[in-house]
Each structure stands twice: as structure tokens, then as C-alpha cells.
């Protein structure tokens, strides 16, 4: 260690430089000193919003033990730089220490821009930048109150969504005429505004903050906008852009860019020898970049120079962006606004679905220049690497791969296309490590190439490239469990483990995620007689399972009591009507022959259940990955064509398998004759009557890819039918993977349905009796989940809108009336946008 590298700033980019230098310097020529002003080491600022409600500061940290234990690295937290003296090659820290450097890298990042408005410095005004900032916002938030976010860009919308998750009613103020004006065009902005409004965010575009009013308590009491609007609020968050932190420029004698930032060349070199600048503080050729991917590229270029790997230069920024709010996808890439000479646009707007897509092409419509996606950004990962390249398919096939031509597959990408812009990894780089056997799964690709370890948006592409190469990818449940769901099921069954914490401590790593937690919760529920909200299990569930009801788009819930086979007495029908009237609910007959009651607030759920349970109803498990319904026709009781009693059989099967937790939802049907009025062959299992008994079909489903079920066994009597269904369902529950429907599960076997028939009908594996016994235990242990909550005060305490005001309803929930019933407040969708495309929405839908 004969040279010292000083890095000022320990954000994501500064930390990346530490990692890059350590990796490139195995001989340990460099000693690294890092100054970080924040009390915490580097953390994932891209995932900062999750810190509000979903994760901890520790989980966001980027520094591992390998850095803390590396003798080459000295990390100084809570310490900044006072000034830089290039003549003596020293940095004076805020702690009073003078550090000598052989190389200095400025990674000071940026600061939030606060508009110069009256009252902007009052208590109650916050910025959205650091963990401490978010702690302050969270402490100042008040559930049910209004909050204001200034800025409708990427970070502004994240800040507003964070307030929404804290129970507030956010207002977003954006000076431009639309949200995300840098990334999306007018058409995309119109769709985005409506989708964001549907989430409960009130948007004020074409307006700015005029003044902030001081209240009697010393903080703020209201915000006035330039359009005359006055918003009563005690919380204001400024997220209206950033400014590069270039304060050290004067003491170091460094030139600034026209709009600020340390002026550097393409190699990130300043005008002073031995001093570089990277990240948001660097004005490369006069331009600052506010995204993490360009910063990572700068760090890589500087690391190459420091470690003698050549005069590597910053190769330019990929300004593509992708935002995910709850239920809202937004993406833009390349020349999203069509500013290139002669640019043509292919535009599609689906008002009913709330989606918008635009491709920008060159003047002869052969090269992709850019695009915008709002509402559905599934094709982003394929389209972004194609920017600047000839179109591999017709525009509509790129936007809608299912339309034909394979435009949306990884095969559409040329070998030199950049798949991971964070680390500048091409398709050829990834294909190379796959073909040589260095990488056999996504984790291997990440390890070999670093692709997917930045923002993570390219991970779906990595899976596609593995599939393209014919590599069978790992079936690990997630990064925390190397086992598949089916393997974990057998582990839990064999060991008797009853908690997620014990399972992950013995067989996994980390703390778990939103993939493995609900999957394990389902396994635990299926292998024990405990309630899904008992103890630790309650924290593992998805939202629907957590509240035993389906969350709807406006934050209310729907209640679906079980009505086996659709048979219901008049008295029970009257009860449903009375409950709907008393609680002001919307009622609808579902496709599964049940009555759905919509619009219930979370605090109303227990009282609704109490009324229903007292009338003889129970949970219909519409919220769970479990048996939903067994639909039936009227059978021999009423129909002159019926040959078997389909109603009785459907009731028997639904009551037998109710509450069966599975990898995915299960739907079934029983038809009393070959006319198939119950549509049994479109179900996970379907039973169709014959003159001799019953035909059993399995593996069908509707949805995106409708499939007819295949015949498993024919002419079964009642007892044979039930035995085979016991085996089939339990075999599926034990061996299917997470969110795998029966159709996909059957196809996953080499011999498909033949393999299932060999196991279930012929007992080829010798496990038939075990499967039957497991089903018998499930039937014996079944209890109604609604009734169990009503009997447990601890469980009942979960059903409130606001913890600090249990009786208060959510004031953000609004309804309108249509056809004599309530419905969520309407969404104004945009009119169709006409562009260069020649295909209509009807044609695309078809």
C-alpha cells in the first residue's frame, strides 16, 4: 500500500468506486479513505421510499463485512470535507484532520432544490433525500391529514406515494403541464395523471408554490399555489429536482459547468491533476447526470484509470428510466419526445385499460429512437436495448409481442445490444458466460458479469437469455431460499417446523422477502391447524390474506361468503341483501356463482363477518391461494338433460376441499351432462357426468392463456372420484412451485398428464395412501377463518384503518352512484391518441 486514494462522498456511486478499485487492485497498491457526511455508510438510495413502510435502514445498507474488515479501506462516517488544496494534495476534513492524497475523487452527489418561496424554511417543510429526511417526514406525518409534495418527477411521485402509505392524503404540485415532464410526453402524462389520481394522489399541474403560511404553533398551516389553490397542511415536502454539490470547487481551483457541477472530461478528470469527479456532482463535458447508472459507469472508468487498466472514458449516459408505483408502471427511453429530425411516432392508447405506449422511429421508420410506456411497461426490457438499432419486427409486434413475430423476445436483440446499462454489459457478454458454463442461472450471470446487480430492471432479460440458450434455470424460491417451494414443503412436513423464522434460520439466509414470506406462510397454513393470522404468520401474508378479504382499487375490500355450488336458501339471500344495505355495499353475482359484497372499509370487515357467520355463512377464500369455488349446473334435480346429480356432487367437493391452501388459486366445476353448463373443462379440475358415472378432467384454466383440462380418468363412481381428487390436489399442493397453476404444473413434467395419471391413478410412486391421509388431516383440521378472528380479540385488533384512531374511517375513500349502487369515484381516461400506427385498439385486442 504505497498510494492513498481519498473519496469525498459515500453514496451509491462513491461506494461503487470503492468496490471497483478493490476488485481491480489485488496487489493492494491503493489505500482508500472515504469521507461520508451522513452518520450511516452508503445505502440504496434508489430504494429509499421502501424505508417508509417496508424495510429497515440495515436492509438498505450497501457495505458488507468485506469492506469493513478490509485493512485497505478506512471509512469515516459523519465526516465531510472542508476544503481541498491541490498544491499540497491535501483534504481538510470537517473533523479537523488533514489527509494527504495521491488521487482524489469527488463523489459529493447533489442536494435537493428548494424553491425560493416565502416560508420554505419553516418547521414542517422537508426535503426527500436521506434516511434522516425520511425519519423527519415519518415523525411529522399524521394519518388522514393532507400533505403536499412539490415536484411531479420521479422522486416527487415516490415521495407522494410514501405519504400515501403513511395514511396521508398527498397533493402533488408540478410546474409543468404534466407529471414526469422530462420522461413522458403529453399523451403519456395524461394517462399517468389519471392513474396516479386513482391511487388517491391529487395532482396540481401547471402550478407552483406561491407561499407557505405560518401557523400559530410555529410550523406551517397552509400552502398557497400560484393558481389560487390553498391547501391546509402541516407537512410540505420539496422534491423539485436536485443541484450538484460543487462547494469544494473554489478551494480546489476547479471549474464548474454552466449549470453547476465539477467540470470534467469524458474520463471524469477535472482540470487539476490527480482529481476526478463522478456521479451527480460531475458535469461531464458540461452535463450532469442525475441517475445512478451513469454514476456507476463513471466509477468504473475512474477505477480503470487508477489501477492502470488504460484511459477508460465514460461512454455516455443511458437516461432510460422506469418507475413503479403501486399499480402504475412508467418507463421512457431514448428520444422519448421525438426531437430528432424527421422522427415518426407510433402511438397506442387503451383508455379502458389505462395504458399508453409510444415508439419513436427515424424518418424512414426502420430504426428505433426511443419510446414511452405508461400503465404497462412489460416490453421495456426488450425495447430499451434496441434504441439506435434497426427494427427487428413491425412496431406493433414490438409493443405487443403476442401479436406475432416474436418482437418481444431476447432473440430480437443483436449481440452487441446493451442489456445492463448500469454495468455496460452486452447480450454477447452474457451469452458468453452462459455458453462456456460459467453461469447456469441468474445468480451466476450476476456474479460473472455484474448484470442485474444495479437497478435490477434487466433481470427478466437475463432469464430470457438463459431460456434462449436452452439452460434450465434454478427453481430456487428466491434469493433467500436455495430450495424450491416444493422442496420447502417437504422440509416443513418432515421437520415439523412451525415458523418462518426457524425455517429461514435453518435452511435459508437473510430476512426473507415478499416472495418467500407468503409462500412459506401458505405451506405452514397447509401443514398445521393454526390460523393464518396466528403470531408470526400474520406478518408474512399478502394484503388480501392479512385482512381475509380482497383489496379493491380504492382501498376498500370485498367480502365473498362461501355458497357451495351456488345453492343458497331464500333466508340466506335475504341476509346478504340486509348486510349489503346496512353497510352500504355494492353487490354482484360472480362468475363462480357467489355473491360479492364490495366497498367494505377495513374496520367494517369483522362486523360484516359477524352478521354472515351468525346466518350460517363462512369465508369463501376469495382472498387466498386456495380452493375458490366448485361451480355447478342444476343437474338431474331440474334439468331434463342431466344424467347425474351435479349439485350434490359440487357441494360435497367444495365443502371437502374448502380452505385447502395451495401454490395458486383453484377453481372447479361439475356439469350434470355433456352440454357442460358449468364449464368444467376450463377449471383446474372439472367433473362431467356420464351415463356410467363421472369423467375427471384436470389442468384447465381461463385467464390470459385459456386451456382445456385433460381427461385424467373416466366413468368413475362417487367414491373413486373423491379418492382421485384427494390424491391429485395433494400431489399438486406438495410439488407445484410458487404461483404455478395446475395447467403449468402438469406441463412442467416431462410426460405431462401421463406422469400425473401414473402417480395419481396408478400409484406409480407408491405415495397414494400418504396423499389420501394428508387430505384427510386437512379436512379434519378445517376451521372457518372469519369465525376464528371473531373469537380472538388480538386478531380483531388488526382490523382498523388507523392504529391511533381505531374507530375512524379512511377519509380518502370516495364513492359515486351508478345504476342504484355505489362504486369507486370515476377515473377520467384519455381520448385515443392518433399517431403513425395503422392498427386500431380493436385489432390489437383481437
Residue positions in the annotated binding site for siroheme? 677
Count CA atoms closer than 13 A to 428's CA, side-chain side: 4
Q: Write the DSSP string, 404-422.
A: TT-TTSGGGS-TT-EEETT
Q: Write the DSSP string, 386-407.
A: GTTSB-SS-HHHHH-GGGTT-T
Task: Judge whether 155 and 239 are in contact, CB under 8 Å.
Answer: yes
Tell me if residue 646 falls in helix, strand or coil: helix
Burial classification of residue 176, based on how many CB atoms lie within 10 Å of its CB (0-12 exposed, 13-18 middle, 19 or more buried): middle
Tell me if residue 766 falls in helix, strand or coil: coil
Tell me the chain's radius of gyration from C-alpha atoms. Answer: 30
C-alpha cell at position 464: 430470457
Give binding residues for [4Fe-4S] cluster as ranges.
633, 639, 673, 677
C-alpha cell at position 610: 359477524
State how far the Cα of 684 lies from the Cα of 453, in Å rounded to an integer: 38
State how far the Cα of 748 lies from the Cα of 757, in Å rounded to an integer: 14
Cα torsion at 655, 658, 664, 665 (round to 10°)?
Answer: 60
Count CA atoms closer than 13 A to 93's CA, side-chain side: 22
State how far the Cα of 337 lies from the Cα of 343, in Å rounded to an integer: 9
Count CA atoms closer than 13 A to 414's CA, side-chain side: 9
State how far the Cα of 540 lies from the Cα of 488, in Å rounded to an integer: 16
Give binding residues as ranges.
633, 639, 673, 677
State how far the Cα of 189 lies from the Cα of 336, in Å rounded to an integer: 12
557-559 β-sheet, strand order: 550-551, 557-559, 595-600, 586-589
Q: Are strands 282-284 and 262-264 parallel, antiparallel or unpaired?
A: parallel
Tell me if residue 735 falls in helix, strand or coil: helix
In angstroms, the Cα distances linking 273 to 101, 105, 270, 440, 646 are: 12, 11, 7, 44, 86
In angstroms, the Cα distances linking 740 to 2, 114, 517, 712, 734 are: 57, 49, 16, 19, 12
The dihedrals phi and psi of 660, each to the nearest 5 degrees, come to -75, 110
C-alpha cell at position 524: 405452514
Burial classification of residue 202, based on how many CB atoms lie within 10 Å of its CB (0-12 exposed, 13-18 middle, 19 or more buried): middle
User: How many CB atoms sit inside 10 A of residue 711's CB?
Assistant: 15
C-alpha cell at position 720: 373413486
In angstroms, the Cα distances linking 777 to 168, 445, 727, 780 are: 46, 43, 13, 5
Q: Write the DSSP string, 422-473.
A: TTTEEHHHHHHHHHTTS-SSHHHHHHHH-TTSSS-TTHHHHHHHHHHTT---
C-alpha cell at position 780: 379434519
In angstroms, the Cα distances linking 5 to 33, 485, 819 are: 6, 47, 71
Amino acid at each position: 500500500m504505497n498510494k492513498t486514494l481519498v473519496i469525498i462522498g459515500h453514496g451509491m456511486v462513491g461506494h461503487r468506486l470503492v468496490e471497483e478499485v478493490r476488485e481491480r487492485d489485488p496487489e493492494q497498491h491503493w489505500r482508500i479513505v472515504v469521507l461520508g457526511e451522513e452518520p450511516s455508510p452508503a445505502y440504496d438510495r434508489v430504494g429509499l421510499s421502501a424505508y417508509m413502510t417496508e424495510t429497515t435502514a440495515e436492509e438498505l445498507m450497501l457495505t458488507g463485512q468485506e469492506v469493513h474488515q478490509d485493512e485497505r479501506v478506512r471509512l469515516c462516517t459523519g465526516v465531510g470535507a472542508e476544503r481541498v488544496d491541490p498544491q499540497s494534495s491535501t483534504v481538510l476534513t470537517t473533523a479537523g484532520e488533514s489527509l494527504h492524497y495521491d488521487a482524489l475523487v469527488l463523489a459529493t452527489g447533489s442536494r435537493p432544490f428548494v424553491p425560493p418561496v416565502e416560508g420554505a424554511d419553516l418547521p414542517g417543510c422537508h426535503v426527500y433525500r436521506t434516511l434522516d429526511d425520511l425519519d423527519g417526514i415519518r415523525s411529522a406525518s399524521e394519518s388522514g391529514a393532507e400533505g403536499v409534495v412539490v415536484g411531479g418527477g420521479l422522486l416527487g411521485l415516490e415521495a407522494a406515494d410514501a405519504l400515501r402509505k403513511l395514511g396521508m392524503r398527498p397533493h402533488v404540485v408540478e410546474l409543468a403541464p404534466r407529471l414526469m415532464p422530462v420522461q413522458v410526453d403529453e399523451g403519456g402524462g395524461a394517462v399517468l395523471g389519471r392513474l396516479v389520481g386513482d391511487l388517491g394522489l391529487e395532482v396540481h399541474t401547471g402550478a407552483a408554490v406561491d407561499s407557505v403560511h405560518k401557523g400559530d404553533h410555529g410550523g406551517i398551516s397552509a400552502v398557497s399555489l400560484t393558481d389560487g389553490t390553498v391547501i391546509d397542511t402541516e407537512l410540505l415536502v420539496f422534491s423539485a429536482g436536485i443541484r450538484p454539490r460543487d462547494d469544494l470547487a473554489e478551494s480546489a481551483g476547479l471549474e464548474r459547468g454552466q449549470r453547476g457541477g465539477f467540470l470534467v472530461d469524458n474520463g471524469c478528470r477535472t482540470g487539476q491533476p490527480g482529481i476526478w469527479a463522478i456521479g451527480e456532482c460531475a458535469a461531464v463535458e458540461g452535463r450532469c447526470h442525475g441517475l445512478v447508472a451513469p454514476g456507476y459507469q463513471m466509477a468504473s472508468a475512474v477505477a480503470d484509470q487508477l489501477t492502470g487498466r488504460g484511459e477508460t472514458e465514460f461512454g455516455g449516459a443511458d437516461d432510460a428510466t422506469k418507475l413503479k408505483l403501486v399499480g402504475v408502471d412508467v418507463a421512457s427511453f431514448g428520444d422519448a419526445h421525438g426531437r430528432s429530425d424527421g422522427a415518426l411516432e407510433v402511438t397506442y392508447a387503451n383508455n379502458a385499460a389505462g395504458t399508453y405506449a409510444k415508439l419513436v422511429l427515424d424518418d424512414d421508420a426502420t430504426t428505433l429512437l426511443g419510446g414511452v410506456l405508461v400503465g404497462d411497461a412489460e416490453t421495456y426490457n426488450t425495447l430499451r436495448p434496441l434504441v439506435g438499432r434497426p427494427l427487428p419486427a413491425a412496431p406493433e409486434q414490438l409493443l405487443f409481442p403476442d401479436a406475432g413475430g416474436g418482437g418481444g423476445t431476447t432473440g430480437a436483440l443483436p449481440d452487441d445490444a446493451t442489456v445492463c446499462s448500469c454495468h455496460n454489459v452486452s447480450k454477447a457478454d452474457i451469452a458468453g458466460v452462459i455458453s462456456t458454463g460459467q453461469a447456469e442461472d441468474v445468480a451466476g450471470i450476476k456474479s460473472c458479469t455484474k448484470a442485474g446487480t444495479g437497478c435490477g430492471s434487466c433481470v427478466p432479460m437475463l432469464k430470457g437469455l438463459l431460456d434462449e440458450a436452452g439452460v434450465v434455470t434454478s427453481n430456487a424460491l428466491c434469493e433467500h431460499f436455495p430450495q424450491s417451494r416444493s422442496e420447502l414443503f417437504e422440509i416443513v412436513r418432515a421437520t415439523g417446523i412451525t415458523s418462518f423464522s426457524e425455517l429461514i434460520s435453518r435452511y435459508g439466509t437473510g430476512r426473507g422477502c415478499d416472495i418467500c414470506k407468503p409462500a412459506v406462510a401458505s405451506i405452514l397454513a397447509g401443514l398445521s391447524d393454526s390460523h393464518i393470522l396466528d403470531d408470526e404468520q400474520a406478518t408474512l401474508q399478502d394484503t388480501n390474506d392479512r385482512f381475509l378479504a380482497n383489496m379493491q382499487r380504492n382501498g376498500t375490500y370485498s367480502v365473498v361468503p362461501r355458497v357451495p355450488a351456488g345453492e343458497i336458501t331464500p333466508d340466506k339471500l335475504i341476509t346478504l341483501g340486509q348486510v349489503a344495505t346496512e353497510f352500504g355495499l355494492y353487490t354482484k353475482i360472480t362468475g363462480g356463482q357467489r355473491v360479492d359484497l364490495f366497498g367494505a372499509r377495513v374496520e367494517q370487515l369483522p362486523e360484516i363477518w359477524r352478521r354472515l357467520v351468525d346466518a350460517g355463512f363462512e369465508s369463501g377464500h376469495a382472498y387466498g391461494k386456495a380452493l375458490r369455488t366448485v361451480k355447478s349446473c342444476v343437474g338431474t334435480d331440474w334439468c331434463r338433460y342431466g344424467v347425474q346429480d351435479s349439485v350434490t356432487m359440487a357441494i360435497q367437493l367444495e365443502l371437502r376441499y374448502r380452505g385447502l391452501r395451495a401454490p395458486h388459486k383453484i377453481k372447479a366445476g361439475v356439469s350434470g351432462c355433456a352440454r357442460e353448463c358449468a364449464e368444467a373443462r376450463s377449471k383446474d379440475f372439472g367433473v362431467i357426468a356420464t351415463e356410467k358415472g363421472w369423467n375427471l378432467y384436470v389442468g384447465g384454466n381461463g385467464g390470459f392463456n385459456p386451456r382445456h383440462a385433460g381427461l385424467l380418468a373416466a366413468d368413475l363412481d362417487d367414491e373413486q372420484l373423491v379418492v382421485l381428487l384427494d390424491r391429485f390436489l395433494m400431489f399438486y399442493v406438495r410439488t407445484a412451485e410458487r404461483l404455478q397453476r395446475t395447467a403449468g404444473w402438469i406441463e412442467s413434467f416431462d410426460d405431462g398428464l401421463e406422469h400425473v395419471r401414473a402417480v395419481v391413478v396408478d400409484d406409480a410412486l407408491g405415495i397414494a395412501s400418504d396423499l389420501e391421509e394428508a387430505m384427510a388431516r386437512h379436512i379434519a383440521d378445517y376451521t372457518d377463518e372469519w369465525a376464528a378472528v371473531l373469537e380472538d380479540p388480538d386478531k380483531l385488533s388488526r382490523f382498523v384503518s388507523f392504529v391511533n384512531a381505531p374507530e375512524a374511517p379512511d377519509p380518502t375513500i370516495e364513492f359515486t352512484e351508478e345504476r342504484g349502487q355505489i362504486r369507486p369515484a370515476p377515473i377520467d381516461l384519455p381520448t385515443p391518441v392518433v399517431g403513425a400506427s395503422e392498427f386500431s385498439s380493436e385489432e390489437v385486442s383481437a
